[in-house]
Amino acid sequence: MVLHAFPNTAEHLLCGRCSGVLEGEIQTYTWKIPERTGPTSNDFECIPWLYYSTVNVIKDTNSGLVGPLIVCRENVNVNQIVHRVLLFMIFDENRSWYFEDNIATYSLEPNKVDRDDETFQLSNQMHAINGRMFGTNQGLTAHVGDEVNWYLMGVGSEFDLHTVHFHGHSYTYTDMGKYRSDVYDLPPGTFAVVKMYPRAVGTWLFHCHVGEHIEAGMESTYTVFPNNGKDWQVGAADPTCQPGRGSPGVLMGWSTGGKRLQCDQAPWGEGVLVSLSFAHTCMYPLTLNIFLNERKSNISNMFVFFFSLFFGEIFHYRVRVLARKTERDRETESKKSPSRGMATPQSLLLHSPLGILGTHAHTPGMSLSCQVRDLNRG
């Protein structure tokens, strides 16, 4: 592995003939941040810039090599602000470095694919937010009372004229003064910051308001947790609940208040060093119906867990969580109706559509089973 240090102290652009970083190499770029690149007196304390590759701008960008550089005023405590970046872009996978690889991987007959077919080319136009479509973004969370900076970035072609709309909350933005709105115009080459102070717990939609764009998948959700995070909890009572090696797992879920549970249509997950936080649409067993709207319901058995998982391992995966009755629970229910506020322990299945659980690879469809109990009731 080769390390290249490449300091930039010049007052002009570097060069257009850079060869890029070869596979297996690491190149470190060091910038001096002059005051002129930071926020002005009319800006918030932090502003976004963009990085991208100049080796092949079109192919590199449409392959996902693009991202934010956040510059803040000196002496700003960045840890007191929740930073969230949203890149709105129609990725043209016809111009991606992975174009031929995708055809070879996903086409049953790669040799018969008509690469010039207009419908085929249109199908490779991915209307994405942070490279993801139809509500599959990860980690867009905050708590009530947080100070949240949303860094909005618009990149792409003349078709990338977006209007970013947040449901559930308004925000402030600066433009020769401070203004309040919930929709922001984002043409290509626009990098902006809007500031939000979440007050309403729940999972909220945001999207591009251009009709064709939202229909094509340019929509997602962000989740606002209660500021204490202890409204209603569900935990794993069985220490065998873990992906991989034998450290105990803990699952904790929260709702808006009391026993009223939320619904989220987009399961997601994101791993960090020793913990994992994610929100899921779940199936609950009939013995837990009593926790929905303070009454038993036979209409629906969907609700959301907002989880934190602690396994002491590094792992990244998307998960669906399903809570189902076991045969023993069915037998118990047939003999005795559940008491108000009590829940028989149920099986909780962790299923990975990507086939990766923890640090171990499994075939798609494999599940792990845990026992669930109400931690607030011991």
- Of 181 and 275, more confident: 181
First-residue to last-residue Cα distance in the chain: 52
pLDDT single digits (tens) 250-289: 333 333 333 333 323 233 333 332 333 333 333 333 233 2
Same domain, residue pair 254 and 329: yes
Q: What pLDDT, on a 0 to 100 scale, did the predictor assign at position 31?
A: 83
295: domain range?
A: 234-377
pLDDT for 164 equals: 94
What is the per-residue pLDDT across 332-344, written as a single tens digit (0 to 9) for each? 444 444 333 323 3
Q: What is the pLDDT of residue 201?
A: 84
> Which among 205, 225, 245 is the end of a domain?
225
Domain boundary, last residue among 174, 199, 225: 225
**What is the Cα–Cα distance from 325 to 244, expressed in whole angstroms?**
24
Note whether 197 and 240 are same-domain residues: no
CB neighbourhood size of 106 (10 A): 9
pLDDT over 70, % of the chain: 55
Which pLDDT does position 314 carry in this prediction?
A: 26
Number of domains within the chain: 2
Q: Clarify whether residues 272 and 199 are in a common domain.
A: no
Which range, 43-47, 309-313, 361-365, has the best average confidence (pLDDT)?
A: 43-47
**170 and 210 both lie in a single domain:** yes
38 with 184, same domain: the answer is: yes
Is the pLDDT at 29 greater than 70? The verdict is: yes
Q: Is the pLDDT of residue 144 over 50?
A: yes
Do 281 and 207 lie in one domain? The reply is: no
Claim to verify: residue 69 and residue 186 sit in the same structural domain: yes
Q: Give the separation between CA 87 and CA 153, rounded to whole angstroms.
A: 5
Domain termination site, one of 225, 252, 268: 225
pLDDT in tens, 76-113: 888 889 999 999 999 999 999 999 999 999 889 999 99
The answer to whether 311 and 244 have CB atoms below 8 angstroms apart is yes
Q: Strands 3-8, 26-31: parallel, antiparallel or unpaired by DSSP? A: parallel
Please state, in angstroms and as integers, the Cα–Cα distance from residue 207 to each residue in 158, 163, 171, 312, following that order: 19, 8, 15, 35
